[in-house]
Chains A and B, each alone.
Chain A
């Protein structure tokens, strides 16, 4: 992992054997103390052996994952495999029972107060249900990060809010309340809010769940546009493997509390692992089968 801008094939060949078996993980824990200081390679988020259980039920069973800066990492897995919990660990909303979560050199799992707040300013998050505040209208929702964290004048805040809302095509709905918006519109507004402070990393929790196929496409289009414009690192949690990604994007397959495979978009399609295969067949397979039908 030392070479920073590793080609995807090199990355996958290194990561996969280590993670797929889950056996030799203790090694990586022993290596960690030196590694923690040297995040000079391209890794921006690093999870090390993260374990978490709720009421005796182990949800994360030792998750290790590196997210490279500037790239898109997609974490896939069926529902109830602990993906959202993993996301909350990255944000420091949930503390792990053991293991480390390092974001840009700061151990989020142990950070408190000011330091934690500082780390969180690096993030923009689009929640599953967009998590807009019901009591505020669209304008105020998107303005919230600015109001709370900067001392800008009202006019300036308004200008910036409209700028971001134009980006997601919602600038004409300023005075609507979240309850008056459809699911897709809420997600757009949620994205505008997440991008408001131009964060380094944007996390997407199930960005396409509950949207119809056309809206799903729109959502990803929006995602590509904004990423090109703002150049953020993206972490997408999803229950299926999206069909329209760059081949250099990374995919991490999560199953039963561990990362089964972590490799490039291209390599995942050739994976030998049964679970990964089923997942790909279930979510991406339809493309090929319909091709076959046409033939």
Chain B
């Protein structure tokens, strides 16, 4: 019985410690952005890795997401005889929910895992220690460019997702099922308000930060993992954990942001 309580206590202490570590990590990483010398070329490189290289994945997923929205929307709306609403249905669901959430999830899978693995490997091969020994702040040198890149790339990918998704909906709804093209686009522009666009921006910024925060921190602290954060196994476990944690927190935050902003 006593042992159970002891274990519970240790678990709690570990979790609180971890939370504190993550918080400090975020602060240091954000502070690292503004510490001179600002490393622009590293940021450009990270935007390339996180943003540009995710573009094809985003385009593919968004075309089909938009198309399936068009398909589903058409069949549901045709029961009420209001197929003209298809445009606004597709656009609103993309703008408010699917665009930010799905693009963030895709970036988590493609770039978040890479961030975690890269930093984790640098940790276990003592590259981060080496940086510290050379009096180079690893937060500024390693993490800050990734934070900036994520905060720029995820909103951009989000808007690419939305626009391509609308195009996908147009393909399925207008070209395939014969909805009036004018109605599709007019309905869209009538129902979307600035607040919706605002929400999409805020969501994708938050998700971008979540991705880089959790993934980078999981890699950065891989050596502190209780189950022995050593070697390739430790990094692979940290990467899996990071992707799962990021995906779940994206959905949780999506709910929270929606409930506050609606």
Q: What is the bound-complex CA distance between A183 and B133, given in angstroms? A: 21
Shortest beta-carbon distance from A202 to chain B in Å: 11
Q: Which of B66-74, B81-89, B93-101, B121-129 contacts A (4 or more CB under 8 A)?
A: B121-129
Cα of A149 to Cα of B127 in the assembled complex, Å: 18
Q: Is A125 within 8 A of B133, CB to CB? A: yes
B134 within 8 A of A: yes
Residues of B93-150 whose CB lies within 8 A of A: 121-122, 125-127, 129-136, 141
B-side interface mostly: helix
**When the two chains form their complex, are residues A131 and B136 in contact, meaning their CB atoms are under 8 A apart?**
no
The interface residues of chain B lying within 8 Å CB-to-CB of A128 are: 126
Report if B190 contacts A (CB, 8 A).
no
Q: Tell me the bound Cα distance from A269 to B226 in angstroms.
A: 41
Contact residues in B for A133 (Cβ distance below 8 Å): 122, 127, 130-131
- CB distance B122 to A148 under 8 Å? no
Q: B131 to chain A: which residues have CB within 8 Å?
A: 133
Contact B122 A93 (CB under 8 A): no
CA separation between A121 and B134, bound complex, in Å? 7
Q: A55-B226, A131-B125, A131-B127 are in contact. Are A91 and B135 (CB under 8 A)?
A: no
Contact with B along A94-137 (1 / 0, CB 8 A): 00000000000000000000000100110101011101111000
Per the bound structure, the CA–CA distance linking A125 and B130 in Å amounts to 7
B136 near A88: Cβ-Cβ < 8 Å: no
**Contact present for B130 and A131 (CB under 8 Å):** yes
Contact yes or no, B126 A127, CB < 8 A: yes
Asked, given contacts A133-B122, A134-B122, whether A93 binds B134 with beta carbons under 8 Å apart, the answer is no
Least CB distance from B175 to A in Å reads 45
B133 — which chain A residues lie within 8 A by C-beta? 91, 93, 120, 123, 125
- Neighbour of B132 across the interface among A55, A120, A144, CB < 8 A: A120
- Are A145 and B134 touching (Cβ within 8 A)? yes
Chain B: CB-nearest residue to A118:
B135
Q: Give A93 to B135 CA distance when docked, in angstroms.
A: 11
Query: CB-CB < 8 A to B127: which residues of A?
Result: 131-134
CA–CA, A55 to B17, complex, Å? 13
Which one of B126, B135, B136 lies within 8 Å of A129 (CB-CB)? Answer: B126
Give the size range of B's interface with the partner.
10 to 19
Q: From DSSP, what is the main secondary structure of chain A's interface residues?
A: mixed
Q: Tell which of B122, B129, B135, B226 touches A117, judged by Cβ atoms closer than 8 Å.
A: B135
User: Given the complex of chains A and B, what is the CA–CA distance between A287 and B219 in angstroms?
Assistant: 45
Residues of A within 8 A of B141 (CB): 148
Residue from A55, A88, A121, A132 in contact with B129 in the complex, judged by beta carbons closer than 8 Å = A88
**Contact A131 B135, beta carbon cutoff 8 Å:** no
Q: How far is the CA of A145 from the CA of B133 in the complex (A)?
A: 10
Instruction: Establish whether residues A148 and B132, one from each chain, have CB atoms under 8 Å apart when the complex forms.
Output: no
Contacts A55-B226, A131-B125, A133-B122 given: A120-B130 contact, CB under 8 Å? no
B96, chain A: closest CB distance, angstroms: 38
What is the bound-complex CA distance between A232 and B129, given in angstroms?
A: 21
Q: Which residues of the other chain, A, contact B121 by a CB distance below 8 angstroms?
A: 134
Q: Closest CB-CB distance, A102 to chain B, in whole Å?
A: 18
**Bound Cα distance from A99 to B132, whole angstroms:** 22
> In the complex, what distance in Å separates the CA atom of A88 from the CA atom of B130?
11
Shortest C-beta distance, B219 to chain A (Å), equals 14
Please name the residue on chain B nearest to A87 by beta carbon.
Answer: B129
Q: How far apart are A69's CB and chain B's nearest CB, in angstroms?
A: 19
Residues of B within 8 A of A (CB): 121-122, 125-127, 129-136, 141, 226
* Chain A contacts to B: CB under 8 angstroms: 55, 88, 91, 93, 117, 120-121, 123, 125, 127-129, 131-134, 144-145, 148-149, 193, 205
13 contacts between A and B (CB under 8 A): A117-B135, A120-B132, A120-B134, A125-B129, A125-B130, A127-B129, A129-B126, A133-B130, A134-B121, A134-B127, A148-B134, A148-B141, A149-B134
10 shortest A-B CB distances, which residue pairs? Answer: A131-B130, A131-B126, A117-B135, A127-B126, A125-B133, A148-B136, A131-B127, A145-B134, A120-B135, A129-B125
Given A133-B131, A134-B127, 4 more pairs with CB closer than 8 A: A91-B132, A128-B126, A129-B126, A133-B122
